[in-house]
A = this chain, B = another copy of it.
Amino acid sequence: MQLTRISILGVGLLGGSVGLAAKSLLTSCKVSGYSHRPSTLQTALDVGAIDDPHAHPADAVRNVDLVVLCTPVSVFEDMLRQIGPALSPGTIVTDVGSTKRSVVALAETLLPREVHFVGSHPMAGSEKRGVEFARPDLFQNSLCITTPTRRTDKHALAGVETFWQTLGMSLVRLSPGDHDRLLADVSHLPHALAAALITMQADQGLPLAGKGFLDSTRIAGGDGALWRDILLDNRDNIRASLGRLRHHLVILEKLLEDGHEQALAAWLDQAAARRRDLLNQKLREVNPD
């Protein structure tokens, strides 16, 4: 698939980085961009993330090969309704949302049959927001999850996966349901927990925070509205994740109460070993040999 024209709906940190990466890695690829804010469109132009700015989503997607939906999850439905009639048959649409069941269901309902939707979750980002922080290498060495269903066109899936690979990502395929369930544990719950950890601190205690506290709460520095959308969209899974976390906290509390020195050290050592293995695996992914 030769991509000569792509469209980015929502040119924030992620959308802007998709534009910068596509323009630097895909030869002679032109990028259309939509934002509801004129100042954002101007900045996206200024930093070179897009070539053609558009104030209306439908205008931004005419005659393109690939549309990348980069707005917050909460406006996906509105975007899909607006672009549906303007898309040419055969156009591929994907997204960068952090939850996948709802967007896949919406796209399969709202987009014309001749348009091919493939759900994507490129796991790259930053607690910063705005196109001024966009980087062409944001996706390098990170993971992208695609979430095909029985209705997904195989060629479109291959095209979207090649696109993310070109941007430097490795790929994993999951069903939308498995994606949302696993991400609740490994991403959404940790975010909620970091926010709760900050919220519960006494004013007197916070100045005593060390590097460990700062690291363990870094993800909670992100945009509230963005994370509200993710948490609400995936709330059934997050409730289940919270239940599992509580179960493990009860185990910990029992170990403390009973003063089980060996069992407590084993519980902590197992967690430490699991994290070390994970870190080594991630380092191998970035530097294979």
Q: Is the CB of A183 closer than 8 A to any CB of chain B?
A: yes
Contact A195 B268 (CB under 8 A): yes
Complex-state Cα separation, A87 to B256, whole angstroms: 35
Contact A195 B271 (CB under 8 A): yes
Q: Is the CB of A25 closer than 8 A to any CB of chain B?
A: no
Contact B209 A282 (CB under 8 A): yes
Contact A212 B187 (CB under 8 A): yes
Which residues of B sit under 8 angstroms from A231, Cβ to Cβ?
256, 264, 268
Which chain A residues in 203-234 approach chain B with CB under 8 Å?
204-210, 212-225, 227-228, 231-232
Contact B278 A206 (CB under 8 A): yes
**Which of these, B143, B195, B256, contacts A239 with CB under 8 Å?**
B256
Which residues of B sit under 8 angstroms from A245, Cβ to Cβ?
196-197, 200
**Which of these, B183, B218, B232, B253, contacts A261 with CB under 8 Å?**
B232
Q: Is the CB of A36 closer than 8 A to any CB of chain B?
A: no
Which residues of B sit under 8 angstroms from A268, Cβ to Cβ?
195, 220, 224, 227-228, 231
Interface size bracket, A side: 35 or more
- Chain A interface residues (CB < 8 Å from chain B): 123-124, 142-143, 145, 172, 178, 182-183, 185-187, 189-202, 204-210, 212-225, 227-228, 231-232, 235, 238-239, 241-242, 244-249, 252-253, 256-257, 259, 261, 264-272, 274-276, 278-279, 281-282
- Nearest Cβ distance between residue A234 and chain B, in whole angstroms? 9
Q: What are 21 A-B contacts defined by CB distance under 8 Å?
A: A123-B210, A145-B208, A178-B204, A186-B206, A186-B210, A187-B210, A190-B216, A193-B249, A196-B271, A200-B244, A207-B278, A214-B282, A215-B215, A216-B216, A218-B275, A224-B272, A225-B269, A228-B264, A228-B268, A242-B253, A246-B246
| Also in contact, A209 and B278, with CB within 8 A (given A193-B193, A216-B216) | yes
- Nearest Cβ distance between residue A245 and chain B, in whole angstroms? 6
In the complex, given contacts A190-B212, A218-B275, A228-B264, what are 7 additional A-B residue pairs having Cβ atoms less than 8 angstroms apart? A143-B207, A143-B210, A182-B204, A200-B245, A216-B219, A224-B267, A242-B253
Which residues of B sit under 8 angstroms from A228, Cβ to Cβ?
261, 264-265, 268
